[in-house]
Amino acid sequence: MTALRKTLDFLYLASGVLAALCLISILLLIVAQMVARWTGEIFPGAPNYAGYAMAAASFLAFANALNHGAHIRVSILLNAVPKGPKRLLEIWCFGLGAAIAWYFTYYAYWFVYWSWKFNEVSQGQDAIALWMPQSVMVIGGGMLALALTDNLFHVLFKRDHRIVRDTVDDTLEV
């Protein structure tokens, strides 16, 4: 089980790192577009690529953000109830979240498949095949579904979730 745990943790971290690299690519694309304008050159498709990178950053960050407590949770309710009902609520929340994430990933896969099958291209100057940027949505959705399922199993078998809260300012904690 430790090999599986290390693999899952590596996948979550890797998706977070890829999301950060997507944000850096947005910065580089914006700077390249500014330089192109200043020099009178044209950088076709730069806004489209920045948009694809933003979507990729969002979807790839989901799993890592979940495990670091960056997603919105109803902690007020969960902290107000005793351990028994709290565990049941967490099982329900992680179960429902995992089911929705797997449902999304399944249909996102088919969305990408049909984009590839019909050879859809973007409307911009670059005319990139849309299945390429759309496939990141499937990967990120799958990573989120995997993370939610992982937390669900952890709550079921270890009686606690794996979400660790990253805080910058600890002055609010008592």
CA distance 33 to 85: 54
**Residue 174, in any domain of the structure:** no
**Residue 167, in any domain of the structure:** no
Number of domains present in the structure of the chain: 1
pLDDT of residue 115: 93
- CA–CA distance from 8 to each of 1, 68, 143, 144, 148 (Å)? 11, 14, 9, 11, 12
pLDDT of residue 167: 56
Cα–Cα nearest to 52, from 143, 142, 126, 147: 126
Residue 42 main-chain phi, psi, to 5 deg: -120, 135
**Residue 171, in any domain of the structure:** no
**Residue 173, in any domain of the structure:** no
pLDDT tens for each residue of 61-94: 998 888 877 666 666 777 788 888 888 888 998 8
Average pLDDT of every residue of the chain: 86
The residue ranking higher by pLDDT, 74 or 56, is 56
CA distance 12 to 143: 7
pLDDT of residue 174: 43
165 band by pLDDT with thresholds 50, 70 and 90: low
Domain that holds residue 155: 2-162
**Residue 34, in any domain of the structure:** yes
Are 8 and 150 in contact, with CB atoms under 8 Å apart? yes
pLDDT of residue 63: 87
**Residue 13, in any domain of the structure:** yes
**Residue 169, in any domain of the structure:** no
57 band by pLDDT with thresholds 50, 70 and 90: very high
pLDDT tens for each residue of 84-132: 888 888 899 889 999 999 999 999 999 999 999 999 988 877 888 899 9
